Amino acid sequence: MKTALNVLEIKQITKELQELKGARIDKIYQPDGFLIRTHKTGQGKKMIKIEPNKIWITQKKPEMPTKIPHFCTKLRKELEGKKITQIKQLNNERIIQFTLETQKEKKHLIIELFANGNLIITDSENKIICAQEERAWKDRTIKKGQTYKLPPTKKHPTKLKPPELGQYKTLSEKIDSETTITAPKPKKTEYDKKKEKLQKMIKAQKETAKEQEKKAAELQKKGEKIYEKYQELTQTINTIKQEQKTKSLQEIQKQLKKLQTPLKIKKINPEKQTIIVEV
């Protein structure tokens, strides 16, 4: 699967994107990368997929996040409803610029397809309105309020060849065929949600019942043990009571080893007035 487009491939993609001129930005999503849905009378809906080093027209709609990321909200606010009037590759670099207009304003969506990628929105005077990532280099700065500047021109390998499409009609189609996405999960109906909630409640009740059964079994076992040793337990308690006639529980606690009882006394707690015996 192709991970990045070179300048010639971006030139080819820019040609393919021309079919979107005149379309309006219908909706913008941010799943893995960005997905821009457009609508054009007579053409219907088309989707543009943007990843850090790639852009193409896609037929695949991935699963959308339930929470809209902050930058996606900004893109929607600035671009949705605007008409695409121009699409061009800037300075023969790995940068594509969309010009978007309404009757009252003009904006640019600049897509940088190198390094980690970046999306920048500027006004008609190329002043940066917002950017996915604000960055600064010695020769340019990507920051709100700054004028957008292109990166210094770089020499590209002379051996670059036009993209080979093989069996595909367009480069977008080829990239799309090589791209794997997670299919959208079917939306849960109100019935599904209630059913899931009920199943969780039943599961919790079963777990609680199982725990109660376990505790009941333990208590029954202890009760049976006490019943078996009832005579010895009674004699042990009577011995302690007899000792208490002349001694305090603190004194009895200190002399436990010398005390002769049918059951072994493990501990006496004078404060709580409790006796622990081994049965």
Domain match, 214 and 96 both? no
Name every residue whose Cβ is closer than 8 Å to that of residue 142 and which is 6 or more positions away in sequence.
Answer: 118, 120, 128, 131, 133, 134, 135, 136, 148
- Per-residue pLDDT of 92-138, as tens digits, reads 899 999 999 999 999 999 999 998 899 999 999 999 999 999 999 98
**183 located within any domain:** no
Residues in a beta bridge with 136: 141
Contacts of 226 (CB under 8 A, 6+ apart): 233, 279
Together in a domain, 160 and 215: no
Question: Does pLDDT of 154 surpass 80?
Answer: no
Is the pLDDT score of 22 beyond 90?
yes
- Residue-range definition of the domain harbouring residue 102: 7-178
CB atoms within 10 A of CB 277: 19
Distance CA 44, CA 171 (A): 21
Most confident range (mean pLDDT) of 19-23, 153-157, 192-196 is 19-23
Mean pLDDT of 138-163: 80
Per-residue confidence (pLDDT) for residue 183, from 0 to 100: 47
User: Does a structural domain hold residue 132?
Assistant: yes
Angle at 123 between CA 4 and CA 84, to 5 degrees: 60
What are the pLDDT digits (tens) for 54-77? 999 998 887 888 889 999 999 999
Question: Are 223 and 235 within one domain?
Answer: no
According to the model, what pLDDT value does residue 20 have? 96
Q: Are residues 97 and 50 in the same domain?
A: yes
With a cut of 80, say whether residue 204 has pLDDT above it.
yes
Q: pLDDT tens for residues 217-263?
A: 888 888 887 777 788 878 878 887 887 888 888 877 777 777 777 77
Query: Counting beta carbons within 10 angstroms of the beta carbon of residue 112, is it exposed (0 to 12), middle (13 to 18) or buried (19 or more)?
Result: buried
Residues 84 and 111 in one domain: yes
> Do both 111 and 211 map to the same domain?
no
| CATH code at position 97 | 2.30.310.10
Tell me the pTM.
Answer: 0.60
Q: How far apart are the first and last CA of the chain?
A: 72
pLDDT of the residue at 1: 52
Question: What residues form DSSP beta bridges with 55?
Answer: 50
Q: Give strand pairing partners of 130.
A: 121
Q: Structurally, how many domains does the chain consist of? A: 3
Q: How far apart are CA 123 and CA 102, in angstroms?
A: 12
